[in-house]
Structure 1
């Protein structure tokens, strides 16, 4: 599928977030005629100064204001990446992820949006067990289900949707995986490893995830132009979820050590202490209890202990066949970019403090 097909006017929700602003930047890079509107709760972060981008502060759970914005903007495509931080309460997560998504769907349908691409997550098919070569046939999450159910509905037969399920996103602006690993490097914790490192894991560079979203949006617009004809079943994009990774599963601690080496770590394999997953899970439980009293979160939690020793990789053949997806940045280069970004940011902060 051609990712260079003009997308017209694109509304990116969460466009000031980690993934969202990478999508905005890639849109500008590929389509000199594109018009971009960014809707986010607060739009002070990750702003692009290009005149083709407009920013709007708003709460996607507020139907009247969201509908009014849709009526004003009349976008051709919606790329919905907005999502609250996973550490927030379940009520807030449900309200934003499910209710907010339904508000956006309704606003898009009622104002003639042609294509709606939803950022889901590969983790929705994760139930705490190992996932080996998992594909799109695994169970869905509620918000994604609402998006896919809205495709070609009886009331809006020309409204097309699909979902992108990225796994383990990292890159410039990442606030979870790579920064935590760099913090571990600064604390001298690179000589420790939880588990035997036999667990393959998928990490995905953010630029590849952005690329997949643009491929999906283009495919939906091509499908819309085909009406009333429809693609063959094995070519269909609308109404479908697509798993997206770098296509390079790697042993979990090999990924961490590649990050540490890029940051300057000199630890040799024979210097690494391998710690039992069960023991570290128990220690994480104790630390959580102690830090909970102080209103803080420890560096090691039960979730982190389990996460670093579980197998979790996916099959992206469907995205390759139907979207024409292939990674545009390999894992090693993605790691280099992510680490160098953090190093530059740390340098800037150090210079500010010195002033």
Structure 2
């Protein structure tokens, strides 16, 4: 289906982000687009360089603006055929308020959907997350989960809840009548935990390992298996979905549906993923959690209670939350078979390739990170 997006005008929101930038790069490399609009709240040097390299081949516009700015979105969507909406705020530390999560991840999504309807944008792909499902507050495991699975998704995360409501808005909007009488077609992609070059979370763990004598902290039990996905395969899934939505037969299956996106990365814990990516560079990993899991859960509960009691006086953000502890220590794996069956997705990069490219990136930043941390 190569060339299926020939002549298409595409808007990518969050274009300077970890996933958004890879989608922009892949679209520019793979497709003969009529136009690409790369939108972000703050335009990074990486995004500008990526877009400038392709200016001769494809018309590229870089748009700087907020996803909550209604007038800006209206102008950004004029003349666009396809929107890939990756813009979101992510924060596992608890420093971002629920109001901020909702205003960006939910209200911003609702605003751009309205802009699509008013501007006759036909196709809309939403970058969701496995955290719209869980893990739930009890830490119930999922093994090779699929789209028809019934799971008690009582979430303990403002991020997960904001993304879930954003996804609902996207899927409900599929079939909405456009101003020109056509109809909007939407779908949602739910990646598992994303790793790869440029990951801020991975860099944070690398910094901690450097400060811990070259050993990654054990943040998850070895038996808490997840199936991480390489960022290049997540970007590829968006390109495959965009191509498939242009096919009149395939789009009937995809309209209003969500898909889990993962790849053939071996199932392992988050800590063992860090080790697998850093082992060739001499980075080790602790053998076990610093304290037994029940004790860590008790400590997290006490800290959350203290935070609640102090709320009228000062804002205290606990360094460890129950949700984060459950997330890191719950077996949570999914299958990409439905995405493969409906739209023809299969991973573009093997685990060996993803591991090699990520390890090469770690090697490139390791000396600088060591020097910067030494100065602190």
Q: Establish whether residue 43 from structure 1 lines up as the match of residue 51 from structure 2.
A: no
CA distance in 2, matches of 1:41, 1:193: 35
The equivalent of 1:169 in structure 2 is 194
Aligned length: 337
Separation of aligned partners in 2, 1:162 and 1:77 = 12
Q: Give the equivalent residue in structure 2 for 1:149.
A: 172
C-alpha deviation, 1:180, in angstroms: 3.0
2:243 is matched with 218
1:328 deviation in Å? 1.2
- Give the match's secondary structure for 1:98: helix
Residues 1:149 and 1:296: Cα distance change in structure 2 (over 3 Å): closer
**Cα 1:265–1:65 shift into 2, 3 Å:** closer
Indicate the SS of the match to 1:201: coil
Q: 8 Å contact 2:224–2:331 — kept in the other structure?
A: yes
* Secondary structure, counterpart of 1:141 in structure 2: helix
Shift of 1:42: 1.1
TM-score by length of 1: 0.83
Residue of 223, 247, 270 corresponding to 1:198 = 223
The one-character-per-residue Cα deviations of 1:105-136 (angstroms, maximum 9, x if unpaired) are 11112212121111011110112421222222
Matched, 1:97 2:96: no
Question: Matched residues in 2 for 1:77 and 1:205: separation?
Answer: 24
Matches within 5 A, 1:1-355: 2=1, 4-7=3-6, 8-47=8-47, 48=50, 49-50=52-53, 51=55, 52-71=59-78, 74-86=79-91, 87=94, 88-126=96-134, 127-128=136-137, 129-137=140-148, 138=150, 141-154=164-177, 157-176=182-201, 178-188=202-212, 190=215, 193=218, 196-223=221-248, 231=250, 236-252=253-269, 253-265=271-283, 272-273=287-288, 275-284=291-300, 298=319, 301-347=321-367
**Do 2:205 and 2:216's aligned partners in 1 also have CA atoms closer than 8 Å?**
no
Structure 2 residue matching 1:250: 3-state secondary structure:
coil
Aligned counterparts of 2:357 and 2:283: Cα–Cα separation in 1: 17
Distance across 2 between alignment mates of 1:12 and 1:282: 43
Kept in 2: contact 1:10–1:35 (CA 8 A): yes
Q: Give the alignment's TM-score, normalised by structure 2.
A: 0.79
Deviation at 1:294, TM superposition (A): 9.7
Could you tell me whether the CA contact under 8 Å between 1:11 and 1:77 is conserved in 2?
Answer: yes
Aligned Cα root-mean-square deviation (Å) = 3.0
CA distance in 1, matches of 2:264, 2:29: 24
Instruction: Tell me how far 1:261 sits from its aligned partner.
Output: 0.5
Q: Is the 8 A contact 2:9 2:34 kept in 1?
A: yes
Task: Tell me, yes or no, if the aligned pair for 1:195 and 1:276 is still in contact at 8 Å.
Answer: no
The CA deviation at 1:160 is: 1.1
In structure 2, how many angstroms separate the alpha carbons of the residues matched to 1:242 and 1:213?
11
Deviation of residue 90 (structure 1)? 0.8
Structure 1 segments unaligned to the other structure (5+ residues) = 224-229
For 2:199 and 2:168, how far apart are their aligned partners in 1? 27
**Which runs of no fewer than 5 residues in structure 2 stay unpaired?**
154-162
Question: 8 Å contact 2:208–2:217 — kept in the other structure?
Answer: no
Measured in 1, the distance between the counterparts of 2:220 and 2:230 equals 25
In the TM superposition, residue 198 of structure 1 has moved relative to its aligned partner by: 1.7
3-state SS in 1 of match to 2:66 = coil
On the 8 A contact 1:120/1:144 being kept in 2, the answer is: yes
